[in-house]
Structure 1
Amino acid sequence: MGFIGWIIFGLIAGVIAKMLMPGRDPGGFFVTILIGILGAVVGGFIGSALGFGTVDSFSLGSFALAVLGAVILLWAYRAARS
């Protein structure tokens, strides 16, 4: 997946994570993209560690791992800001 693909993948994962965890977060669009992209990395790491696979292509499993990672990062971001 190319650079633009990761940005779109991250945006979608970040938006889904914010829908699952609604609340007021500063940063808007760009922070959503960053949380989604980093969430894909975190989700891939967690998936690899648990033997579920990695986030290396666009598939339903990769997307679920990316959203899970984005939710974890969003929770950590909110906990750090409190």
Structure 2
Amino acid sequence: MQLLGITILIGFLAGLVARWTTPGRGVGGFLLTIMVGIAGALTAAFLGQLMRWYEPGQSAGFVGSLAGAVILLAGYHLMARDR
């Protein structure tokens, strides 16, 4: 349970940095930034464990979470742009 809390906190911070570094005007607000960051952190941790980069139960860390958040945020911008 503590690991999930740490992953969410890292994801929150990674979402803020990803939002700041991703070019383009953001469509969503603060809540979307938090959700994308957390989703990026959880996705990076899951994929890292699946590829055996991390041990089971190990978090992706800030850099992995930031990469996951940037990828998800860029994908969101591409999908939102087409509308």
Q: TM-score higher than 0.5 here? A: yes
Structure 1 Cα separation of the partners of residues 54 and 4 of structure 2: 21
- In structure 2, distance between residues paired with 1:16 and 1:79: 19
Match of 1:80 in 2: 79
| Cα gap change, 1:48 to 1:33, in 2 (>3 Å) | same
Higher Rg of the two aligned structures: 2
Q: Match for residue 27 of structure 1?
A: 28
Equivalent-residue separation in structure 1 for 2:62 and 2:58 (angstroms): 9
Shift, 1:10, TM fit: 2.2
5 Å-filtered alignment, 1:51-70, equals: 51-53=52-54, 62-70=61-69
1:11-56 C-alpha deviation (Å, 9 max, x unpaired)? 21101111221321122110010000000011112322333216x5
1:43 pairs with 2:37: no
Tell me how large the CA RMSD over aligned residues is: 2.5
Q: Which runs of 4+ in 1 moved over 4 A?
A: 2-7
Segments of 5+ residues of structure 2 without an aligned counterpart are: none
For these two proteins, the number of residue pairs brought into alignment is: 80
Provide the C-alpha distance between the structure 2 equivalents of 1:2 and 1:44, rounded to a whole number of angstroms.
11
Rate the CA distance shift 1:53–1:2 in 2: closer, same or farther, 3 A: closer
